């Protein structure tokens, strides 16, 4: 259930009608969450609400971004938006409960439908050690388009060296349709809710674009920066001048800490 929050002085309700929804799947290395951290903190996106779901592991922490007030709390699933409302970005801080990924994907689908979003962009990561042979060479960020690929997006993709997730290794693509999509999504491992969400969006006829980064567990900051750069280059969330220098939130100091935060005790 979406719970609106107004953290601006004008208290005007935010609209998601026609907005593009960016969903970072909780997956290996947390590269999607870290990439979204860069987008939200650098662009100082407004927090417009949270999605309250009993299917997520409950958490609570201090403010996740530098521009939020000190009283703000980090919650399992938060909703942010750019000032022009063209982009709505989720930040998911905890995974679904075991064996509840498809049910949680169904909850997300209901939010997508009720919010009137024009399209969905899924950012995900997958275990690089389990790549198939044809995915080893070339870019380690692959793309997948479901239900449509608009001309502007296609033009931007053409100018980048990103490969397709459904490449068959012979210069072509795997078969289209539901069966081809299932074969493609079977290539993903440790990718969280990515598979069921894309399948449900395909069945519902929702335009969906996915970017998958193949990573190993460890220091995944470089993977996150690469994914954020690729996502912005393809989607055009912000002008290059705005993101020429990504601004990570202060919370990143605890990604690979040399000491243990006192707040844990």
Contact 227, 33 (CB under 8 A): no
CATH number at 116 reads 3.40.50.10900
> Within a domain: residue 219?
yes
Q: Model-level pTM greater than 0.75?
A: yes
> Within a domain: residue 265?
no
Count up the domains in the chain and report the number.
1
Distance CA 79, CA 114 (A): 14
Contact 24, 79 (CB under 8 A): no
DSSP 17: T
pLDDT digits (tens, 9 = 90+) for 79-113: 999 999 999 999 999 999 999 999 999 999 999 99
> Within a domain: residue 101?
yes
The confidence score (pLDDT) of residue 102 equals 97
pLDDT digits (tens, 9 = 90+) for 127-171: 999 998 888 888 899 999 998 767 778 778 877 878 888 755 444
The phi, psi pair for 40, rounded to 5°, reads -65, -45
> Within a domain: residue 192?
yes
C-alpha 77 chain-centroid distance: 12
CA atoms within 13 A on the CB side of 2: 20
Residue of 30 and 258 predicted with greater confidence = 30
> Within a domain: residue 191?
yes
pLDDT digits (tens, 9 = 90+) for 225-250: 999 999 999 999 988 888 788 999 98
Tell me the average pLDDT of the chain: 88
Angle at 232 between CA 161 and CA 19, to 5 degrees: 125
Which candidate, 50, 21, 196, 48, places its Cα nearest to that of 115?
A: 21
Looking only at the bridges linking them, the beta strands covering 61-62 and 2-4 are unpaired
> Within a domain: residue 257?
no
Helix (H) or strand (E) holding 245: none
- Name the residue range of residue 162's domain: 13-249
């Amino acid at each position: 259930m979406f719970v609106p929050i107004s953290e601006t002085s004008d208290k005007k309700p935010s609209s998601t009608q026609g907005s593009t929804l960016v969903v970072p799947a909780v997956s290996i290395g947390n590269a999607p969450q870290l990439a979204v951290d860069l987008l939200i903190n650098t662009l100082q996106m407004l927090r417009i609400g949270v999605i309250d779901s009993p299917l997520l592991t409950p958490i609570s922490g201090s403010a996740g971004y530098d521009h939020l007030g000190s009283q703000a709390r980090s919650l399992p699933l938060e909703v942010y938006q750019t000032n022009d409302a063209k982009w709505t970005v989720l930040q998911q801080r905890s995974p679904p409960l075991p064996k509840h990924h498809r049910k949680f994907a169904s909850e997300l689908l209901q939010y997508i439908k009720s919010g009137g979003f024009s399209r969905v962009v899924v950012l995900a990561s997958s275990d690089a050690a389990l790549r198939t042979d044809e995915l080893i060479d070339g870019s380690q960020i692959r793309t997948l388009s479901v239900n449509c690929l608009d001309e502007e997006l296609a033009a931007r993709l053409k100018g980048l060296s990103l490969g397709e997730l459904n490449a068959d290794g012979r210069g072509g693509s795997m078969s289209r349709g539901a069966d081809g999509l299932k074969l493609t999504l079977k290539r993903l491992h440790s990718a969280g809710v990515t598979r069921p969400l894309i399948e449900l969006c395909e069945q519902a006829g929702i335009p969906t674009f996915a970017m998958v980064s193949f990573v190993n567990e460890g220091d995944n900051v470089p993977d996150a920066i690469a994914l954020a750069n690729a996502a912005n280059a393809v989607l055009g969330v912000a002008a290059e001048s705005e993101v020429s220098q990504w601004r990570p939130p202060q919370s990143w100091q605890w990604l690979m800490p040399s000491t243990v935060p006192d707040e844990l005790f």
